[in-house]
Structure formats: C-alpha cells, structure tokens
Amino acid sequence: MQDLDAVHPDAVQTSAPLLAGRPRRVRQVLLGAAVLLLLVLLVAPNELGRLAPAAFLRIPVDGLVAVALAVLLPTRFRRVAVPVTGALLGLLTILKIISLGFSAVLDRPFHPVLDWPFLVAGADYLRQSSGSAAMWAAAAAAMLLALAVLLLVMAAYRHAARLALRHRTAAARAVAGLAAAWTACALAGVQLVPGVPVAAHDSYDQVNQVRTGAQDEQVFGALLSTDAYRATPTGDLLTALRGKDVIVAFVESYGRVALADPELSSQVGAALDAGNARLRDAGYTARSAWLTSPTTGGGSWLAQSTLLSGLWVDNQQRYTTMMASDRFTLPAAFGRAGWRTVAVMPATTTPWPEGSVYGYDQLYTAPDLGYKGPRYSFATMPDQYTLHTFQQRERTPGHLPLMAVIPLISSHSPWEPVPKMLPWDAVGDGSVYDTAAGSDDPAEIVEKRDRRRVRHAYRNAIAYSLNTLVSYVETYGGDDLVLVFLGDHQPSPSVSGQHASRDSPITVVARDPAVLDRITGWGWQDGLKPGPDAPVWRMDAFRDRFLAAYAR
C-alpha cells in the first residue's frame, strides 16, 4: 500500500482511484466533499427526534482523533492506522444508521450489546406480514447497504487524511484548537439541542454501552435471586380468587396516547365509555390505572415477562436470563394454587419453549388454534377468533378454574386492515372472515402511508380489540370471570410522537364485587378508562401487588 505522504503533494490526488485523471478543481471539490461527508456522519445524532440543524453544530472527538492519527503518526504506523481507523468510523456510522431506525420504531437508540435480537424480531415481522421473499430481500439489501456505507466512509476518511497531510501544519493547529473547544464544551455540558452535547463522543458512548451491558447482567442476577413470594405456602396463594377464571389479556400497542391524544381518544375513549355502560348494565364493575412499560413501539415479550415475573425486563439480555431461571411467575403462582394455566399465543408461529418457564399447563400457538381464514397483515387471526377458540377449548362446562394469558394482536402495526365484529356463534374456524381490502399489502407499504392515515388505522384497531374484549365478557362472562386487560406498550413514534411516555392503561373487570373490593386500596379509578390523574405503577410492581391483594 502506498503511504499517504510518500508522494509529492501535487501528486497526492492521482494516487486515489476515485480522483485519478480528473481536473485539479474537480479533485479539490471531491476532496472537500469527502471531508464534509465524513464530518456530517460523525456529528449526526443517533436519534431521529434530535435531527435538528443545530444538532450538527458539534465537535466530534472521533474526527479529531482520526485527523490527529493521520497527521502525527510516523509513516509505518500510518499505513495500518488509516485503513483501520476508516473501518472503525464506518462501523460507527452503520451503528448510527441502525440507531436512527430504532428510534423511529422503538423511540430509543440502538444498544450494540443488548438489541441485536430486535433485528431478528424485525425480520420475523417482515416474514409474517410480507412473506419470506420480502424478508430475505430486505436482509440482502441491508447487508449491501452496510457494505456500501463501510466502503464509502473508509474512502472518505482516506481522502480526508490525504488533504490533512497536504496541509499538515494547518491541520495540526485546527485539531489542537478544536480539541480545546471540545474540552471546554464537555466540561460545561453545552447542548444546542437537548440531549445532544456539542462535545460529541459517540464512540465512547458505544464502548460505555458495552460496559454497562455487562454490569447489567450482574445487577439483574441479584434481582432474580430475590423473590418475596417464591416460598409462599400453597394455602396462602390467591385465596380470594378461588373458583374464578382469571384472564390476563395484553392488547398490542394500547398505550396512553390512545386516551390522551384527542384525535385518537374521540374513538377509543368513546368505545371504552360505551363498553363500560354495557358492562355496568350487566352487573360488572371495573377499575383502571396506568402501568409504565419497559419498552415502547415493540418488544411485547419484554412487557409480558415484566408483568408476569415481577422483574424489570427492559432488554433481551434480561429476558434471556429470566427465561433460563426458575422465576416464580404469576402463572406459576396460579398453578401452585390449583388453577389450570393456559397461554394462547396467536402471533407465535413456531415452537415456543419459553412457555414452560412461565409454568403453563397448556400452550396454544398459532398453528394449534386451527384458523382457516385470511391474514390481516401481521395479525395471523382476528382477536375475536382467538378469544372464541379459547372459550370453546378451555371454558367448557365443568372445567377446572383457569388462569389464561392471551396477547391480542389485531392492534399490532401496521394496524390496517381491521377485521369486522361477527356474531360469536358465527366465528367457527375463521373461514367466514372475508379478505379485507389491503390484507395482502406488504407491511412496509402500509407503514409508508401518511401519518394521518396511520393514526386513523391505529385508533380503529385499538377500538376493535377493546370492543372484542367487552363483547367477550358480555357473551361468556359471569360471576366466575375476572378479566385483567392492559396495553403492553405505546405504539411507535409514527403514532405517539418522539419521546412519549411509556404508560399503558390497565383495567380489572369482575361481576363479583368482592374481587374489586380487594383492590380498593390501590386507588384505581372506576370504569374502563383511566383518567390522566389515575395512579401510575411500573409494570414490574403488578405481580407482587396482585398476589398481596388476593392472598389469605
């Protein structure tokens, strides 16, 4: 490899393949463009909501170090340092692009240690909603894009390094001056955009995330080993619910925005008000509040494991650790106390070994549910079909008391199309459902529609899921039914906006007044719709408070 400063300055340009043979002015423009491109990539924030013009007025320490290496290192070291540094800058840029994508969906930056499973989940989402061909095409395109970015950044840095060598004294002075300014801004904590420091240190942040990820495993291990309810005698568990069927239903993407945003609450709130009136007329009462989810925009399995385990499971590393443990989950508590425990997982299309960790006696995945109707984009089946099939298979006359966990998925993005409500006795095997307009549209097409239409589809889907639950209670309820339904997390920022709260509604419904009397001390509000001032708990607090409320 020819060294960067081993040629006469006037011949430097011709040693670069991208610049060879071009007029001097063109070469200068391309060199300047390379420097500008590299600078933009280095200073760009890693969250979509912080992409403001002022966010680019930063001093990147990574760039200062990169230029200093090119200018100050001896020739023999520079031959290795330049390509290696270029590759590192390229990888940093790829991570930043991934992070911007994460912030668009999950409203947070990408964690290089903990978040790789989300990429697998994203691929699975494409497979289920758009088919295997679309998934593999997207994966191939992503890999080609990553390679192109890596090569582009490496080339840009090499050209920038050549330019710095041609003006070595000026470059060294500029690095020294900017380094002093960076230090001053870092000490003063200067930010032109909230959360985006002028003294940029993205590479350090990535290294720090790796370190905190390793520390988090130890912290979570200590939490996992502490459980106030694991040794509770069977006779003291859930005594106030004996003889009841308890259903915990997760409503996908049912977040605070559905009730706090006037554009959405006009339909969702109206559905809850009407449902509350219908249930009240049938003798039911309800109480509602808010739970703060460990995730937003996606990662439903993290929210579900948090509620059921009583642990704050906010990343895949914690989830994997919890799944490898013998944690005393809420279903396990019901199982020890004599209930038959069931999980109905309509979005799970492959074997799900984690079910045994929760302590379920029976697990139904999508293939087990026998649905013969059309898909609705991501949703493998309508929520009404899921609940109908559960009713027909498990809540038969003379059945043992049941505890069931049922994630409902008709309100999963892209939220369009929405199934129609049918008479319950007409659901059958699902073949009665019509293929709605848009059912065959790939998810990526649906999600690219304008924001107003996406939000309209979201509120329709949430209203459908909530109406389905209310109708189920009306049709199949009774004195022995206790329904707990909640949102797993807020929808993506395309609906909720950037940096929205992570609160989701939770409601307990029962006809037996003794059931709700037990939670009077919680201070939850009456009805299906929590108000803005209703209590807010972290989602991991629910398991212990529930077990305490219904213990002997």
Q: What is the 3-state secondary structure (H, E, C) of 497-538?
A: CCCCCCEEEEEEEECCHHHHHCCHHHCCEECCCCCCCCCEEE
**Predicted pLDDT at 393:** 97
| Packed helices 383-394 and 451-476: angle between N→C axes, nearest 10 degrees | 20
**Predicted pLDDT at 104:** 76
Beta bridge partners of 288: 507, 525
How confident is residue 408, by pLDDT bands cut at 50, 70 and 90? very high
How confident is residue 410, by pLDDT bands cut at 50, 70 and 90? very high
Give the helix/strand (H/E) hosting 10: none
State the DSSP string of 69-86.
HHHHS-HHHHHHHHHHHH
pLDDT in tens, 42-55: 888 877 777 778 87
Query: Distance (Å, rounded) from C-alpha 504 to C-alpha 304?
Result: 13
pLDDT in tens, 124-159: 767 766 677 777 887 888 888 888 888 888 888 888
**282 pLDDT exceeds 60?**
yes
**Predicted pLDDT at 148:** 85
Total-model pTM: 0.79
Q: What beta strand segments (E) does 149-274 contain? A: 191-193, 196-197, 199-200, 245-251
Q: What beta strand segments (E) does 23-78 contain? A: 59-60
Exposure string for 536-551, b = 16+ CB within 10 A, e = fewer: ebebbebbeebbebbb
Query: Which is higher by pLDDT, 130 or 182?
Result: 182
**232 pLDDT exceeds 80?**
yes
Same structural domain for residues 441 and 514? yes
Do the Cβ atoms of 344 and 361 come closer than 8 Å? no
**Predicted pLDDT at 1:** 40
**208 pLDDT exceeds 70?**
no
Q: Which residues contact 244 (CB under 8 A, 6 or more apart)?
A: 401, 480, 481, 482, 510, 512, 515
Query: Distance (Å, rounded) from C-alpha 482 to C-alpha 284?
Result: 10
**Predicted pLDDT at 128:** 67
**Predicted pLDDT at 360:** 95
Same structural domain for residues 236 and 209? no
Structure tokens at 9: 């300055």
Domain's final residue, options 214, 240, 265: 214
Q: Into how many domains does the chain fold?
A: 2
Q: What is the identity of the amino acid at 360?
A: Y
**Predicted pLDDT at 45:** 82
**Predicted pLDDT at 129:** 65
**Predicted pLDDT at 31:** 65
**540 pLDDT exceeds 70?**
yes
Same structural domain for residues 472 and 521? yes
**Predicted pLDDT at 5:** 44
Same structural domain for residues 174 and 42? yes
**Predicted pLDDT at 446:** 45
Position 38 in a domain: yes
Say whether the peptide bond before residue 417 is cis (omega within 30 degrees of 0): yes
Position 221 in a domain: no
Position 1 in a domain: no
Mean pLDDT of 4-26: 48
Domain's final residue, options 160, 190, 214: 214
Domain's final residue, options 188, 214, 240: 214
Same structural domain for residues 183 and 281? no
**474 pLDDT exceeds 50?**
yes
Same structural domain for residues 146 and 231? no
Same structural domain for residues 198 and 264? no
Structure tokens at 59: 């001093």
**Predicted pLDDT at 209:** 65
Position 270 in a domain: yes
Query: What is the 3-class SS of 323-354, one letter each residue?
Result: HCCCCCCHHHHHHHCCCEEEEEECCCCCCCCC
Same structural domain for residues 308 and 210? no
Mean pLDDT of 357-372: 95
Query: Which is higher by pLDDT, 149 or 34?
Result: 149
Position 219 in a domain: no
**Predicted pLDDT at 244:** 97
Mean pLDDT of 491-514: 94
What CATH number is associated with residue 422? 3.40.720.10
Query: Distance (Å, rounded) from C-alpha 291 to C-alpha 250?
Result: 12
**Predicted pLDDT at 207:** 66
**Predicted pLDDT at 123:** 73
Position 267 in a domain: yes
Instruction: Look over the chain and give the mean of its residue pLDDT values, rounded to a whole number.
Output: 86
Mode of pairing for the β-strands spanning 245-251 and 402-408: parallel
Mean pLDDT of 311-327: 91
How confident is residue 12, by pLDDT bands cut at 50, 70 and 90? very low
Query: Distance (Å, rounded) from C-alpha 309 to C-alpha 295?
Result: 15
What is the residue whose two structure tokens read 């049709």? 475
**Predicted pLDDT at 27:** 65
**2 pLDDT exceeds 50?**
no
Query: Which is higher by pLDDT, 379 or 39?
Result: 379
* Secondary-structure breakdown of the chain: helix, strand, coil percentages, each rounded to the nearest 5: 55, 10, 35
State the DSSP string of 349-390.
-S--TTHHHHT-SEEEEGGGGT--S--BTTBSS-HHHHHHHH
**Predicted pLDDT at 196:** 83
28: containing domain: 9-214
Same structural domain for residues 344 and 388? yes
Any idea which of 106-115, 175-184, 303-312, 394-403 has the lowest mean pLDDT? Answer: 106-115
Do the Cβ atoms of 311 and 223 come closer than 8 Å? yes
Q: What is the identity of the amino acid at 520?
A: T
**11 pLDDT exceeds 50?**
no
Any idea which of 9-18, 154-163, 333-342 has the lowest mean pLDDT? Answer: 9-18
**Predicted pLDDT at 204:** 66
Share of the chain above pLDDT 90, in %: 49
Same structural domain for residues 178 and 272? no
How confident is residue 100, by pLDDT bands cut at 50, 70 and 90? confident
How confident is residue 436, by pLDDT bands cut at 50, 70 and 90? low
How confident is residue 7, by pLDDT bands cut at 50, 70 and 90? very low
| Packed helices 132-166 and 24-43: angle between N→C axes, nearest 10 degrees | 120
Position 3 in a domain: no
**Predicted pLDDT at 192:** 82
551: left (phi over 0), alpha (psi -120 to 50) or beta: beta
**466 pLDDT exceeds 70?**
yes
Same structural domain for residues 296 and 209? no
Position 428 in a domain: yes
What separation in angstroms does the CA of 54 have from each of 26, 194, 195, 404, 494? 30, 10, 12, 51, 23
Same structural domain for residues 196 and 243? no
**20 pLDDT exceeds 80?**
no
Other C-beta atoms lying within 10 Å of the C-beta of residue 221? 12
Do the Cβ atoms of 112 and 210 come closer than 8 Å? yes
**60 pLDDT exceeds 80?**
yes
Share of the chain above pLDDT 70, in %: 88
**Predicted pLDDT at 46:** 77
